[in-house]
Amino acid sequence: MSSSVLERSATLLLRALSRLLRALLSLFQTFGGPRNSRPVPPAVQPLLLLPGVELARRIRRRQVKSVDVIEAYIGRIKDVNPIVNALVAERFSAALKEAQQVDKRLAEGNEDEKLLEESVPYLGVPFTVKEAFALEGSPNSSGLVSRKNVISPTDAAVVTNLRKAGAIPLGVTNCSELCMWYESSNNLYGTTRNPYNVDRIVGGSSGGEGCIIAAAGSVMGVGSDIGGSIRMPAFFNGIYGHKPTTGLVPNDGQFPDATGLREKFLCTGPMCRYAEDLIPMLKVMAGPNISKVRLDEEVFMKKVKFYSMENDGGSSFVSKVDNELIRAQRRLIEYLEEQFGIQVQQVQIRKMKYAFPIWSAMMSSRGTDGKEPVSFKDLMGDCGKEMKPLWELVKKMLGLSVHTFPAIGLSILEDLAKINQRNNAKLMSMCQSLEAEFCSLLGDDGIFLYPSHPKIAPRHHHPKFMPFNFAYTAIFNVLGLPVTQCPLGMSKDGLPLGIQLVANHHYDHLCLGVARHLEIAFGGWQNPGAP
């Protein structure tokens, strides 16, 4: 069989699968059974309602003790985690001891407040960590059952940076199996539920992180993103998440460890409730690399050029964008034009409709060293016993597999992608062309407005019927552009709305600065369960 026939066959198969899944979704929506829409109770303790930088400021000034802050967050986690299942392993006792040491240091020392701010900007402030990152003494399975007994002996690089800045880790949070799915559910820890409506997903793969932050169980957290794994959870949970410019924040200490070309697409970044924490967190997390960007440069909204695109142009693989998300984007445009007297330019970037095939081709391509990336099925076997995807699917249907359906499905799609190598070369060339188009459009003063996802937080299991919707975020990983997910209020059903703010390479300060302006205009994070 010729390669062209194989290419067409693979494309037609994916399109047929997409249509079938959408049909099944329609049936699932109609006969999906009873639903429980209760949110978590609202956070009322004042210490839970402050940005990390403000908590640090009060701790430095001896206005509040770190122990009191840590105790408030431990109490909140104990209240909400039985409902949402976000934190999967805690270190509360160790965190309290570290907080006591902070308070003792401040009580006994005569350190200058300004010097403390510069050397330990998050002194005494709690944070949480995605379980895929190494946190000393905590599990590091990434939801893989075969790694259930793996305990990290050291910290990941980014965790080390935060601890050096004085921050105190409370524990690790749930993710999808091997961090490659946009619902945080696995056979080791179970499913994480949305704090605004427990019938809805939290996104993935940093979903537990997005959830615990939104539920006011953490001030801020560490996430990673290879296809939207920071931005989708941030969107579904109504918080801020930033995917930095490629290579800005160290990825060391994660499992799976991205190698080859995939390492270029993986980004570690901050997740938080308040936009005020984005830049200070990124400075700490990036370490010496922060010199590559100009985070201290003030952003003047009137000088920013805004470009808007409401959908991907009609991909065969991706759902249509919800009308409420389109209306939210248009309200944002109206605000920008009325408030700052600027003209937001509507653009139509035609290659965006190929976002999923482009991302898939780039993910399966060889690295700069010519080596093929470690396959997903090898990772599922923890690079030990061979995992055969089709046989694993049969086992799953018989209730005999330890893997999730999405993980098995992804390994099957990965094998299909390898059949289509000739078309992959065309898609990789298209990716380079698209990156050049974005660089030319954005320049040194441009922001691109684009939906964070085509759907407002779906119900549990619905991503299985809409498997390619992550394309709205994934495309920016292979383009290497910095992106901030910014909340834009709430839907009629009380679920978060949001937008992606995209800037050119190393212009992270633009999307982060715009996010801070929009927090004031649109309210930012909303307290779950609050009237």
pLDDT tens-place string over residues 236-275: 999 999 999 999 999 999 999 877 667 889 999 999 999 9
| Residue 229 is among the residues annotated as catalytic for this protein | yes
353 in catalytic set:
no
Residue 263: per-residue pLDDT: 83
Q: For residues 287 and 269, give the distance between their C-alpha atoms in angstroms, rounded to a whole number.
A: 12
Q: Residue type for 146, please?
A: S
What pLDDT, on a 0 to 100 scale, did the predictor assign at position 337?
A: 98
pLDDT tens-digit series, residues 503-526:
999 999 999 999 999 999 999 999
Question: Does the annotation count 411 as an active-site position?
Answer: no
pLDDT top residue among 163 and 393: 163
Confidence band of 369 (pLDDT split at 50, 70, 90): low
Catalytic residue selected from 205, 308, 364, 365: 205
In this prediction, residues 460-482 reach a mean pLDDT of: 96
Write out pLDDT tens, residues 74-105. Answer: 999 999 999 999 999 999 999 999 999 999 99
Q: Where are the domains of the chain?
A: 173-522
Please name the residue ranges forming H helices in 404-486. 405-419, 421-442, 471-479
Instruction: Answer yes or no: is pLDDT of 472 > 60.
Output: yes
Q: What is the pLDDT of residue 14?
A: 56
What is residue 392's predicted lDDT score, i.e. its pLDDT?
Answer: 81
| Residue 168, amino acid | I
- DSSP, collapsed to helix, strand or coil, labels residue 246 as coil
How far is Cα 159 from Cα 222, in angstroms, rounded to an integer? 8
Containing H/E element for 127? strand 126-130
Beta bridge partners of 74: none
Structure tokens at 239: 């918080």
The pLDDT of residue 296 is above 50:
yes
Token pair recorded at residue 57: 């400021």
Tens of pLDDT, residues 195-232: 999 999 999 999 999 999 999 999 999 999 999 999 99
Per-residue pLDDT at 225? 97
Is residue 480 a contact partner of residue 264, using CB atoms and an 8 Å limit? yes
Rounded Cα gap, residues 207 and 3, in angstroms: 39
Which comes out higher in pLDDT, residue 8 or 222?
222
- Percentage of the chain modeled with pLDDT above 90: 77
pLDDT of amino acid 16 = 56
DSSP run (H or E) holding 355 = helix 355-363
Q: What is the mean pLDDT of the chain?
A: 91
CA distances from 398 to 21, 23, 401, 463, 487 (A): 21, 24, 8, 22, 42
Could you read off the pLDDT of 320-345 as tens digits, one per residue? 999 999 999 999 999 999 999 999 99
pLDDT band, very low/low/confident/very high, at 31 (cuts 50, 70, 90): very low
pLDDT, residue 68, reads: 98
Omega before 256 within 30 of 0, i.e. cis: yes
Residue 205: cis peptide before it, omega within 30 degrees of 0: yes
**Token digits of residue 321:** 């964008």
pLDDT digits (tens, 9 = 90+) for 385-429: 777 888 888 888 888 888 887 888 877 777 666 656 668 889 999
Tens digits of residue pLDDT in 46-79: 999 999 999 999 999 999 999 999 999 999 999 9
Residue 370: what pLDDT? Answer: 58
Handedness of CA 516, 518, 519, 524 (dihedral sign): negative
pLDDT for the residue numbered 2:
45
- Given a cut of 90, is residue 439 above it in pLDDT? yes
Compute the C-alpha angle 479/483/486, nearest 5°.
150
Does 5 score more than 60 pLDDT? no
Which ranges of 198-244 does DSSP label H, i.e. alpha helix?
Answer: 207-214, 231-236
Q: Say if residue 39's pLDDT is above 90.
A: no
Amino acid letter, 437: E
Considering only residues 26 and 215, tell me which one the structure prediction assigns the higher pLDDT: 215
Which positions ≥6 away from 132 have C-beta within 8 Å? 140, 142, 175, 179, 205, 224, 254, 255, 256
Selected catalytic residue, list 130, 243, 353, 377: 130
Instruction: Give the separation between CA 288 and CA 161, rounded to whole angstroms.
Output: 10
CA distance 404 to 187: 7
| Residue range 173-522, CATH number | 3.90.1300.10
Q: What separation in angstroms does the CA of 206 have from each of 126, 141, 221, 227, 268?
A: 18, 14, 10, 11, 11
Instruction: Examine the pLDDT at 19 and tell me if it is beyond 70.
Output: no
Tell me the Cα Rg of the chain. Answer: 22
| Catalytic residue (choose from 142, 206, 224, 229) | 229
Number of H helices, E strands in the chain: 18, 13
Q: What is the pLDDT of residue 29?
A: 47
- pLDDT band, very low/low/confident/very high, at 371 (cuts 50, 70, 90): low
Residue 33 has pLDDT above 50, yes or no: no
Q: Where are the beta strands (DSSP E) in 287-415?
A: 305-308, 345-346
Contacts of 443 (CB under 8 A, 6+ apart): 305, 504
